[in-house]
Structure 1
Amino acid sequence: MRSAGGRGEIKVRRELQPRKRVPGLANRARTGQEKRNPQRLVLETPSQNVFFSPMSVSTSLAMLSLGAHSITKTQILEGLGFNLTHTPESAIHRGFQHLVHSLTDPSKDLALKMGSALFVKKELQLQENFLGNVKRLYEAEVFSTDFSNPSIAQAKINCHVKKKTQGKVVDIIQGLDLLTAMVLVNHIFFKAKWDKPFYPAYTRKNFPFLVGKQVTVRVPMMHQKEQFAFGMDTELNCFVLQMDYKGDAMAFFVLPNKGKMRQLEQALSARTLRKWSHSLQKRWIEVFIPKFSISASYNLETILPKMGIQNVFDENADFSGITKRDSLQLSKATHKAVLDVSEEGTEAAAATATKFIVRSKDGPSYFTVSFNRTFLIMITNKATDSILFLGKVENPTKS
């Protein structure tokens, strides 16, 4: 794994006409942010590569809810999967606060950075309570921005995101206009080394990968024989391989049996992931995984209404908790993420001396698994038990 970067962006524009450390809490935030986003985005694009950060999307929306009132607030939080009867709003935000803080702790073994920023029209008067909560709970940066020159404002925001994701996510904002009043940005960046890296000399340069039912493309296929946590989910008809990173993260590669991808997609949930993490057993595996790079962008305004988050986009939006005088509604919600998978797991291209043990014929028996057709990949954080990134690789040759 080289690196993965993602960010969720929410742009709020002015209406033309004004209207007349607590683990239990972290678990609640985790459960809500994983309940609907993964399945919805995967199902929306049945024949395309998918890659996004449930954490990034959910944090952006939870942060936005701080300034929402009435049904607008309810739709956002319930759309994220929270039961407001059982979970107070204050507990939800404290849970996200714990997650944000956990993901920004420095580590020598992996780079995992998450943050938020508000770009606010300089004439806009923000509610002090909203501004304080955004900074305290989500550690957000706030920038006074001149939206009277949309191209300059757009360049400023894009530059910020590019810098925060170390150049991985570029030109995320497109088409700002004079009506823009505020842009809310959430970014997440991930870079880690495999605990058991692949040896580049063993990568097969021209390996067949099945796209769909009949088309075959050629990809570089990484290869190694090692002990990994591995198992077969007989209920979902798929193989599951867990590969650890150095540090507090791991990846799950999931290969469904032919014709069973739809069943797997519909069953995706945090509970399924926890079931796998507790049931997999270490065994000798000969594994083939493509070396690839994919990216994906999503206009969430077409997806969020299907999750019940509807009022934010129309004249019924109530964001009176954000600004004192101006009436706001959500005009655009965009998310983009990038994933690179390679032998050593670092972003740097320099080769390093990695371990590869050639086993004799009378060595331990091993199972061979080849990810040479559509598969899922999930990157999780062990400390918070959260899904950082989720992807479906339909065609590894398409970036």
Structure 2
Amino acid sequence: MGSSFYRVLLVVGFCAPMSCMLSFNSNHRECPHPLSMKRNPASQVTPSNTKFAFLLYQRLAQKSPGQNILFSPVSISTSLAMLSLGACSATKTQILRSLGFNITHIAEHTIHLGFEQLVHSLNECHKDLELRMGSVLFIRKELQLQVKFLDRVKKLYGTKVFSEDFSNAVTAQAQINSYVERETKGKVVDVIQDLDSQTAMVLVNHIFFKANWTQPFSAANTNKSFPFLLSKGTTVHVPMMHQTESFAFGVDRELGCSILQMDYRGDAVAFFVLPGKGKMRQLERSLSPRRLRRWSRSLQKRWIKVFIPKFSISASYNLETILPEMGIRDAFNSNADFSGITKTHFLQVSKAAHKAVLDVSEEGTEAAAATTTKLIVRSRDTPSSTIAFNEPFLILLLDKNTESILFLGKVENPRKM
């Protein structure tokens, strides 16, 4: 058979609803004690994943100034790492390098073992929160896949594999969107648009997160109409939650921003970062794994009055226009080499779609991310005893066990979905 041209569609979806979770089943099974990061193979990939997360954020911020940003770094990294299993030559090298791995210093096998442990850790039982990530391959019926590729995506990434009739693109699109919607409990809908009948394979990664604050806000205290100053200078009115409690807090003197940490019940933590006037771009350019580590280690508990908006936002991205700028070029053009997936057809990634949804409410809410070299904690009697997120801020959600960024974004306008 001659080499036929088919398209590969890479889809990632993220959902983080922070709606009410009042109770859990009393017979919830006990969770094993998590591996420490020193012994956990996931620690081999976490630093690179964090670096990739911030580099991708900076690209998105450049392309969408003044807009909300929302994506799941761990979902996108996992999808690309899984795709690299079937890539060869320069195509493979570009994917792994763009993910932050120096393949002369870390073996490819070690990278995939790290992702295997990461996926396992995120999907094992979590007391007091819901967190799961999954991957699925929808494969064209007549496509003959390499057995080694199928075995590895199943073993390392826990991938489910389904046969699909892509000649009927409308039906196939509906079935795949229905699967993603079901796995994200109705939050991520219509992630695929305009599916092509020449599609050979659709790779989907989805992640779902739901949790409660350890110190929830009282709905009775929520101000129904609180002014929120947009970066353009106009004001919108949003529901504003508030409480006075002991939280980990710090001020980055160099960047002029405030960092608040709020914990979820379970093994997740949220950061909120509020830049000083006119310093959002400086903050975004300074995001790095080192700064995040310094924040995590330097924040100190203090009594503080906190104001955070209640909101729901979503974002969709066509990553095929962004990933080539980050070094993943061949996968999207005629130089693509995915002979590790199939040797009977020529495959090329035609689309890389990502959709994320975030709901924030009194019972549970999201995270804030930022950068700093040094943090200070001001005395209790200074004006910093009150912090109001009533203008654009960054948000970051971390899984404590793996130190992975589950969610990263910027809230420019809490009223804009």
Q: TM-score, normalised by structure 2?
A: 0.85
Q: 1:106 to 1:75 in 2, by over 3 A?
A: same
List aligned pairs for 1:140-219, cutoff 5 A.
140-219=159-238
Counterpart position of 2:118: 99
| Equivalent position of 2:393 in the other structure | 375
- 1:230 aligns with 249
Q: Quote the Cα distance in structure 1 between the aligned partners of 2:40 and 2:284.
A: 28
Structure 2 unaligned runs (5+)? 1-8, 12-34, 366-379
CA deviation after TM superposition for structure 1 residue 364, in Å: 8.5
Can you list the C-alpha shifts for 1:347-396, whole angstroms capped at 9, x where unaligned? xxxxxxxxxxxxxxxx9887000000000000000000111000100000
Instruction: Identify the residue that residue 124 of structure 1 maps to in structure 2.
Output: 143
Deviations 1:139-197 (A, max 9, x none): 00000001111011001110110111111100001111211110000000100000100
Q: Is the 8 A contact 1:158 1:173 kept in 2?
A: yes
Partners in 2 of 1:42 and 1:113 — Cα distance? 27
**Which structure 2 residues correspond to residues 302-321 of structure 1 after superposition, within 5 A?**
302-321=321-340
Q: State how far apart, in whole Å, the 1-side matches of 2:283 and 2:389 are.
A: 16
Amino acid at match of 2:43: N
Q: Deviations over 1:212-233 (max 9, x none)?
A: 1420000000000000000001
SS in 2 for 1:327: strand
Out of 391, 394, 398, the position equivalent to 2:412 is 394
Deviations 1:73-95, CA, capped at 9 Å, x for gaps? 00000011111111111111011
Aligned-partner Cα distance in 1 for 2:336–2:39: 33
Aligned to 2:297: 278
- Whether contact under 8 Å (1:38, 1:268) holds in the other structure is no
CA shift at 1:253, angstroms? Answer: 0.3
Equivalent residue in structure 1 for 2:288, among 251, 266, 269:
269
**Partner of 1:34 in structure 2?**
50
| 1:65-84 superposed matches below 5 A | 65-84=84-103
Q: CA deviation at 1:267?
A: 1.2
Aligned to 1:384: 402
Q: Is the 8 A contact 1:28 1:92 kept in 2?
A: yes
Aligned equivalents of 1:24 and 1:270: distance in 2? 18
Deviation at 1:44, TM superposition (A): 2.7
CA–CA separation in structure 1 for the residues paired with 2:92 and 2:387? 46
Q: 1:23 to 1:299 in 2, by over 3 A?
A: farther
Query: Paired residue for 1:46?
Result: 65
Q: For residues 159 and 84 of structure 1, do their structure 2 counterparts lie closer, same or farther at Cα, with a shift above 3 Å needed? A: same
* C-alpha distance in structure 1 between counterparts of 2:57 and 2:399, whole Å: 16
| AA matched with 1:373 | E
**Aligned-residue offset at 1:132:** 0.3
> How far apart are residue 287 of structure 1 and its match?
0.4
- The count of aligned residue pairs is 367
CA contact (8 A) 1:38 1:269 kept: no
Which aligned runs of 4 or more in structure 1 are off by greater than 6 angstroms?
Answer: 363-366
Deviation at 1:24, TM superposition (A): 5.5
CA distance, structure 2, for counterparts of residue 43 and residue 57 of structure 1? 19
1:32, CA displacement in angstroms? 1.7
Matched residue, 1:139: 158
Q: Which amino acid aligns with 2:405?
A: I
Q: Distance in 2 between matches of 1:85 and 1:317?
A: 22
Q: Match of 1:301?
A: 320
CA distance in 2, matches of 1:117, 1:145: 12
Amino acid at match of 1:371: F
Report 1:301-380 matches (<5 A): 301-345=320-364, 367-380=385-398
Give the deviation of 1:269 after TM superposition. Answer: 1.9
Partner of 1:10: 10
Shift of 1:42: 2.9
Question: SS of the counterpart of 2:345?
Answer: coil
Shift of 1:344: 0.9
Letter in 2 for 1:236: L
Between 195-204 and 21-30, the greater mean CA deviation after superposition: 21-30
If the length of structure 1 is used for normalisation, what is the TM-score? 0.89
Alpha-carbon shift at residue 272 of structure 1 (Å): 1.6
Q: Are residues 1:257 and 2:271 paired?
A: no
Q: 1:213 to 1:37 in 2, by over 3 A?
A: closer
1:39 Cα shift?
2.7
Q: CA deviation at 1:40?
A: 2.5
Residue in 1 that maps onto 2:79: 60
In 1, Cα distance between the equivalents of 2:40 and 2:57?
22
Structure 1 residue aligned with 2:41: 25
Amino acid at match of 1:30: T
Q: Is the contact between residue 43 and residue 265 of structure 1 (CA under 8 Å) also seen in structure 2?
A: no
What's the CA shift for 1:41?
2.4
Whole-Å separation in 2 of the counterparts to 1:42 and 1:102: 30
